[in-house]
Amino acid sequence: MQKMKCIQGIRGVAISLIVLWHLNSVFPNCLPAFGDRGVEFFFLLSGLLIGMKYYDLDRMKNIGQTLKYAVEKGRKTYPLYCLTIIPMLLFLLKNWKAHEIGTAKFASIIGTNLLYLQSWIPSEDYYWALNGVTWFLSDLLFCYLTIFIFFWIIRRMGSKSTLVMLFLIEFAWEFLVLNCFQNQTAFLTYIFPIYRALDFGIGVSLGVLSKCKEKKNFDGMLVLLLAVYVIMMIVFNKKVTYSIYHIIEALLVWTIVMGSGSISKYIFENPLLVKLGNTSEVIFLTHLPVITYMRIVWDKVFGDQYRIVEWLVILLCIFITAYGVSYIQKMIQVKKQCKSSI
């Protein structure tokens, strides 16, 4: 339970970074690429939990079991996923009516989004379309399909060797892309599901490794890593390749999850961060539509005035919407449980 609490705290930090990055549209180019970092933590944590929970169980040993798991996860998210796509559909419809996109492309964009396939198309018109953050779910569902592969590799190589191998593959992939496919760098080193599966696999390896290690006081190491990480984000931002960030992020996750020190507990088991982490899925899916529509309303009413107030109002609306949706979801779940018990 202790581990779960701090993991939710890291999720709280990750979703805060993503929301802050997308609120950057109010003050363009004001913040570093916080959103990229938040997404990376989500892939790591998803893999970590899988490794901790399922490695020792008789599950996730073949494609059939992982496919069933991915379908269950996709089905659970699908109602809210579709609800957040609908308001953003108006912008795509506007482009179609203005003949900026053809009917075939209009239909294919909707189709790939409805099937969680948008991140497989190497075009911003697809993976940023509609609710632009949902490419992450497209990637994550693919990652779930790879669970049995990572478990198989770990059983044969060990979790430490698997970690080293995955980091080396990431470095090699980035080197190849930066030297041979520069026009597709954004897609191949950020969106591409197979690349993101490497992050997920690193998380799985950490989760498996954590099962055979004792907690220790890593406060000193944690402070150092946090300082290095913040400096990297602010000073170097996108000048550093993603794989460099992934190493620091993996070390951060490890020191937080396996740390018994007071600093780790004070920061990452903070009740506010844990609550944010518990609601992170809803915040993730709803925040971009809220930002988009609130910005339109604000610009019509106030124009370019009161930008700081606009930023605060939008932030407040994001959390009100997320907690409202979470409350409705809980009520629906309670009603279902009541019906099933009758």
Q: Are 217 and 260 in contact (CB under 8 A)?
A: yes
Is the pLDDT at 166 greater than 70? The verdict is: yes
Residue 252 Cα to chain centre, angstroms: 16
Q: Give strand pairing partners of 216.
A: 259
How far apart CA 339 and CA 333 sit, in angstroms, is 10
SS3 107: helix
| pLDDT value at 278 more than 90 | yes
> How far is CA 57 from each of CA 66, 73, 195, 210, 267, rounded to the nearest angstrom?
13, 19, 27, 16, 32
Name the H helices within 115-186.
124-127, 135-145, 147-157, 159-180, 185-186
Pairwise pLDDT comparison (334 vs 181), residue with the higher score = 181
Distance of alpha carbon 133 from alpha carbon 66, whole angstroms: 24
Mean pLDDT confidence for 232-243: 83
Residue 86 lies in a domain: yes
pLDDT computed for residue 268 by the predictor = 93
Cβ neighbours around 35 below 10 Å, total: 19
Task: Please give the residue that has the higher pLDDT: either 115 or 260.
Answer: 115
> Is residue 300 included in any domain, yes or no?
no
Q: Is residue 316 part of a domain?
A: no
Can you give the residue range of the structural domain that contains 259?
2-282
Is 320 part of a structural domain of the chain? Answer: no
pLDDT of amino acid 339:
73
Model pLDDT, residue 1: 45
Prediction pTM value: 0.94
Average pLDDT, the chain: 92
Band the pLDDT of 3: cuts 50, 70, 90: low
Instruction: Give the pLDDT confidence score for residue 14 in this predicted structure.
Output: 97
pLDDT at 7 over 70: yes
User: Is the model's pLDDT at 2 over the cut of 60?
Assistant: no
Choose the weakest-confidence range: 32-46, 88-102, 288-302: 88-102
In a domain, 311, yes or no: no
Does the residue 292 lie in any domain? no
Distances (CA, A) of 59 to 49, 54, 70, 201: 14, 6, 13, 17
Contact 264, 219 (CB under 8 A): yes
* 311-334 average pLDDT score: 93
Residue 303: predicted pLDDT = 87
Residues 6+ apart with CB under 8 A from 65: 59, 148
Residue 239 lies in a domain: yes
Work out whether the CA dihedral 128, 133, 134, 135 comes out positive or negative. Answer: positive
**179 burial type by CB count under 10 A (0-12 exposed, 13-18 middle, 19+ buried):** exposed
More confident residue, 35 or 98: 35
pLDDT value at position 341? 66
Checking if the pLDDT of 27 tops 80, the result is: no
Q: Quick one: pLDDT at residue 242?
A: 86
223 occurs within a structural domain:
yes
Mean pLDDT of 312-333: 94
Nearest to 196 by CA among 8, 85, 43: 43
Tens digits of residue pLDDT in 241-270? 888 999 999 999 999 999 888 888 889 999
- CA pair distance 20, 106, nearest whole angstrom: 30
State the total domains in the chain: 1
pLDDT at 128 over 50: yes
